[in-house]
């Protein structure tokens, strides 16, 4: 351990001793052993409720290199890092999650009432699907594409220096499809696939280059375990756009980022919501190590594990609707069912079907984790 890391590493109450290598083995192998726990991320309100302190939204931490960084911004970033690591330790994860938010200039989001029980400001932001900053070639040529990848990765870089021994950081950079469709607005993007395919291709290329730059920069750092890319491709009944378009235009570009991650000997997990299973085999062929996000009314994690569990790891699967509206006994019973089906042959990580959202009662989330500990104790003689 070098001197810099020795000085910067934070000391935490050791409620749990992380072991990222155990998590890596669960993702990459079918080694039999205790099932680890993990998620894409937890909402800031949930982190705050668990730690019983105010947690700043990462989106409010300004890391734009063109702006003057105040002492307050540095302090907010430091506190966010500490709180994120502490939450992940409390939840029994072997990694901390970190957002490398790429500052693509975009149109203002839509605002509506936030009914989540932990929400404080009562506001929820929604993407504006009807418009985006790039509609024409002129928009494309004058667009301020992010270039300071080092600055974008500031939070992730510092977090990697501060995690305790045994823990690593999984970085969330955003995905090729999501960023591309947001830059045009999903409605206009859908029309442009037919009316302006060359412009769509140009945006895809620039988005891919940008994500690759961010990923390449952060993978050079110590204690970075891999990439946890969020790129929602589906909704309830199918993929958001034609599977053929995803196969031709988007998955090959995602593969470039997967290959870059593997060249650095790191793991790549894809979070993608909805009924995107028509392209699941294409994503596996592209090299993803794990798939996160499952919803029982679309495809249960047990069914997905039966079909793809020998090829890749599956992460999560305890349905968010159940966690939100169910009682503790229901959560425990469902967790036990999933573990019995997926937990004895590797390639599985216990977690929610999507993320630790601020509308999930904290008691239900920790009931799921506690049931996982009990199941591990019964089957492997250790909680995890």
Looking up residue 109, the CATH number of its domain turns out to be 3.20.20.210
Domain count, the chain: 1
How is residue 274 written in tokens? 């909805």
Contact between 207 and 180 under an 8 Å Cβ cutoff? The reply is yes
Domain range for 352: 3-380
pLDDT, tens digit only, all 384 positions of the chain: 454 444 455 554 456 799 999 999 999 999 999 999 999 999 999 999 999 998 887 766 544 444 455 666 667 788 899 999 999 999 999 999 999 889 888 765 555 565 655 656 656 666 778 889 999 999 999 999 999 999 999 999 999 999 999 999 999 999 999 999 999 999 999 999 999 999 999 999 999 999 999 999 999 999 999 999 999 999 999 999 999 999 999 999 999 999 999 999 999 999 999 999 999 999 999 999 999 999 999 999 999 999 999 999 999 999 999 999 999 999 999 999 999 999 999 999 999 999 999 999 999 999 999 999 999 999 999 988
Q: For residue 217, give the H/E element and its range.
A: helix 197-219
Contact between 23 and 338 under an 8 Å Cβ cutoff? The reply is no
CA dist list (Å): 315 to 33, 100, 176, 248, 318: 16, 21, 21, 26, 10
Please give the model's pTM, rounded to 2 decimal places: 0.91
């Amino acid at each position: 351990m070098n001197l810099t890391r020795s000085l910067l590493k934070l000391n935490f109450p050791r409620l749990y001793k992380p072991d990222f290598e155990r998590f890596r083995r669960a993702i990459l192998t079918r080694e039999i052993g205790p099932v680890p726990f993990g998620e894409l991320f937890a909402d800031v309100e949930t982190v705050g409720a668990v730690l019983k302190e105010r947690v700043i939204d990462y989106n409010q931490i300004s890391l734009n290199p063109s702006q003057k960084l105040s002492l307050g911004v540095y302090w907010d970033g430091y506190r966010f890092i500490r709180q994120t690591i502490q939450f992940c330790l409390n939840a029994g994860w072997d990694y901390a999650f970190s957002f490398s938010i790429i500052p693509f200039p975009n149109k203002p989001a839509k605002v509506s009432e936030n009914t989540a029980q932990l929400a404080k400001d009562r506001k929820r932001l929604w993407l504006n699907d009807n418009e985006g900053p790039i509609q024409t070639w002129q928009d494309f040529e004058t667009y301020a594409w992010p270039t300071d990848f080092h600055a974008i990765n500031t939070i992730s870089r510092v977090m990697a220096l501060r995690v305790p021994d045994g823990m690593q950081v999984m970085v969330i950079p955003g995905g090729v499809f999501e960023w591309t469709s947001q830059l045009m607005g999903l409605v206009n993007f859908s029309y442009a696939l037919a009316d302006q395919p060359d412009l769509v291709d140009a945006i895809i290329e620039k988005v891919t280059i940008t994500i690759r730059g961010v990923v390449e920069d952060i993978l050079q750092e110590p204690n970075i375990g891999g990439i946890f890319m969020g790129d929602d491709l589906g909704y309830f009944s199918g993929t958001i756009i034609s599977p053929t378009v995803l196969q031709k235009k988007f998955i090959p570009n995602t593969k470039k980022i997967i290959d870059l991650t593997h060249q650095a000997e790191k793991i790549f997990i894809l979070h993608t919501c909805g009924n995107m299973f028509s392209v699941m085999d294409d994503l596996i062929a592209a090299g993803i190590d794990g798939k996160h996000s499952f919803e029982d009314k679309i495809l249960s994690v047990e069914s997905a594990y039966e079909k793809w569990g020998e090829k890749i790891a599956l992460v999560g699967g305890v349905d968010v609707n159940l966690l939100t509206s169910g009682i503790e006994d229901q959560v425990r019973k469902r967790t036990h069912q999933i573990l019995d089906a997926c937990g004895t042959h590797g390639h599985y990580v216990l977690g929610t079907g999507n993320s630790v959202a601020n509308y999930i009662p904290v008691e239900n989330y920790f009931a799921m984790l506690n049931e996982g500990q009990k199941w591990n104790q019964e089957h492997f003689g250790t909680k995890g």
